[in-house]
Amino acid sequence: MTKMIEIKVKDQFSEIHEVQALLREIPQQAELNQLSLFQRIEHIVVKGETIRPSIELLFESRQSDSIYRVVE
């Protein structure tokens, strides 16, 4: 089952924001269950915008100039 959680992200100006993140569904017994939090995030929701992760482990907004990184 997918799960929505609250996480903290930091933008390029080092400001911390509390946002929601949707975690991928991973079977309990799968080796993938050992993935880091970032690797399990399907997308984050910031101010109503759904942002998918990039290869560089960042979340880049298409509606603003903001770039986010997961901090916890």
1 pLDDT more than 80: no
Residue ranges in 1-72 assigned as alpha helix (H): 37-40
Whole-angstrom distance, CA of residue 39 vs CA of residue 13: 23
Q: What is the pLDDT of residue 29?
A: 65
Residue keyed to tokens 């907004």:
61
**Residue 12 and residue 66 in contact, taking contact as beta carbons nearer than 8 Å:** yes
Residue-wise pLDDT for 34-63, tens only, equals: 777 888 899 999 999 999 998 888 999 999
**What is the chain's mean pLDDT, rounded?**
88
Could you read off the pLDDT of 12-29 as tens digits, one per residue? 999 999 999 999 887 666
Local structure of residue 72 (DSSP, 8 states): -
**The whole model's pTM is what?**
0.81
